[in-house]
Amino acid sequence: MKGTEDKARKLIGDRGNHFLKRMEGETGANISACFQCFRCTNACPISHYMDIKPHQVIRYIQLGWREELLQSATIWVCLSCEMCTTYCPNEVQVAETINHLRNLAAHSSVAPREKQLALFHQTFLEALHHFGRVNEFWLMGALNLKPGVLKEKIRTGALAEEMALGLLLLRKGKLKLMPHRCRAMAEIRKLYRQQRGEIG
């Protein structure tokens, strides 16, 4: 039993600070300034759905535990509401950091813990790349064409709910059927490629 406990135990500092420095460099967030006051987690409206709480995300980065973060459900369920960032006394930019982890996971070979949310994230970025803005009708249509999505929505009844909501929005004039391209497409695509690391 003792040997099993020792294998599961993680050594603090065993991975160095390379991941911490990389994250600080790429996000501009002062992650080292976090002193684990828990205010970000206490302010988060969905922390009870997270397997790694917001304050723990920052601590994991400090410890260099990259794989655990990229494999977590937290980076996908985060709403990016920025309540954590707002309540942080040291302005650590927690929400921005989690969003960056989500992008790292999306472009890595790590299988996402929340597959449906990962597909939505991917489709959202594709919409921005194509049109420079998001059209809800196109977005949901493109998402439903992803492998397994439509079948799962039919099984759970989510498709019927979405169609009813879509008809309601259409009647109220809140849903546009055709997407319109943004005028600044060149700049948006450049930012998209920079985010993916395709250009410097």
Cβ neighbour number for residue 4 with a 10 Å cutoff: 8
Nearest-10 Cα torsion for 143, 53, 86, 197: -50
Rg (CA), the chain: 20
Separation CA 66–CA 35 (nearest Å): 19
Task: Give the phi and the psi of residue 173 in degrees, each rounded to 5.
Answer: 75, 20
**DSSP annotation string for 24-88:** HHHH---GGG-----HHHHH-TTGGG-SS-HHHHHHHHHHT-HHHHHT-SHHHH-----HHHHH-
Sequence-separated (6 or more) residues with CB below 8 Å from residue 107: 196, 197
* Residue 77 in tokens: 């369920």
pTM over 0.75: no
Per-residue pLDDT, 182 = 78
Per-residue pLDDT, 123 = 85
Per-residue pLDDT, 109 = 84
Q: How many CA atoms lie within 13 A of 85 on its CB side?
A: 14
All structural domains of the chain with their residue ranges:
2-106, 115-195
Torsional sign, CA 17, 22, 25, 30: negative
The span from the first CA to the last CA of the chain, in angstroms, equals 51
Given the candidates 1.10.1060.10, 1.10.579.10, 1.10.3720.10, 3.40.50.1220, the CATH classification of the domain at 2-106 is: 1.10.1060.10
Per-residue pLDDT, 14 = 65
Per-residue pLDDT, 24 = 94
Separation CA 110–CA 120 (nearest Å): 16
From the number of C-beta atoms within 10 Å of its C-beta (0-12, 13-18, 19+), residue 162 rates as middle
Torsional sign, CA 15, 21, 27, 30: positive
Integer CA distances (angstroms), 57 to 53, 63, 197, in order: 6, 10, 23
pLDDT in tens, the chain (200 residues): 555 555 566 666 567 789 999 999 999 999 999 999 999 999 999 999 999 999 999 999 999 999 999 999 999 999 999 999 999 999 999 999 999 999 899 888 888 888 888 888 888 878 877 788 888 888 888 888 888 888 988 999 999 999 999 999 989 988 888 888 777 777 877 776 666 655 55
What is the tens place of the pLDDT at every residue in 88-138? 999 999 999 999 999 899 888 888 888 888 888 888 878 877 788 888 888
